[in-house]
Amino acid sequence: MVRLKVDIIVVTGGVSWIEAAKNATKTTPIVMTGAGVDPVAAGLVESLARPGGNITGITLLERELGGKRLELLKEAVPKFGRVAVLSEPGGSGTERELKEVLPTAARALRLTIQPWEVRVADDFERVFATLNKQRPDGLYVPGGPLMRANVKWITDFALKSRLPSVYNSGQFVSAGGLMSYGADLADSYRRVAYYIDRILKGTKPADLPVEQPMKFEFVINLKTAKQIAVTIPPDLLARATRIIR
């Protein structure tokens, strides 16, 4: 892309993709979106207000929302006590979520976190077999390429095991998961056009603040709730932005 002398490179998908683009050019403007970690902590920009280099765009800060997801699941299932967390290692955001965000929220909610590492697709079968024996009260699934590539496998397991589950994206709920909470991805992707417009009109990426999500999506699957015998409280349903019946 750099050799083709494109005007802008738009990068989605995560830190590794953005880092690859950053390593390829220090001059071509890069607009990022879809990254779920803090871009300052990841070393992608100097600050959200003044990125300082050739990278700007949208950060979803998905990992920061882990506590909210646990809170919503606890509201849906008050007796919820032990939660299994699928862990896809390799990213600084994932590590912080597991070591800081989720444990802090779990202590406040009196929950016990049980991380299960999944490095490759074949690991799911082993982890699911163990979970069927240990019978946790619920399942927490963070984002990540491996999780997104195995949406159906994960949601089918939760459904068959009658495990209340929470995710970072509505695509899991559409596939049969119980609920999700996260940034409204469609809204975030639409904001990319704003950055492209400003850059093409002469504004430098260094002078365009990185934006955090303004809209969030809370999705509940009532069909799944019925199948796993979970009654969603009316006040929780009232706060949902989308309900699958």
Q: Quick: pLDDT tens for 148-206.
A: 899 999 999 999 999 999 999 999 999 999 999 998 888 888 999 999 999 999 999 99
**Residue 97, domain member (yes or no):** yes
CA distance 167 to 155: 10
Q: Is residue 147 part of a domain?
A: yes
Rounded to whole angstroms, what are the CA distances from 81 to 21, 58, 75, 170? 42, 35, 12, 24
The answer for residues whose C-beta is within 8 angstroms of residue 203's C-beta and 6 or more apart is none
Residue 133 inside a domain? The answer is yes
Q: Is 239 part of a structural domain of the chain?
A: yes
Note the pTM of the prediction, 2 decimals.
Answer: 0.85
Q: What is the pLDDT of residue 97?
A: 81
130 and 235, same domain (yes or no): yes
Q: Decide if pLDDT at 4 tops 90.
A: yes
Range of the domain at 95: 63-183+217-244
Write down the pLDDT at residue 41.
82
Same domain, yes or no: 31 and 134: no
The token pair at 145 is: 């390429």
CATH of the domain at 131: 3.40.50.2300
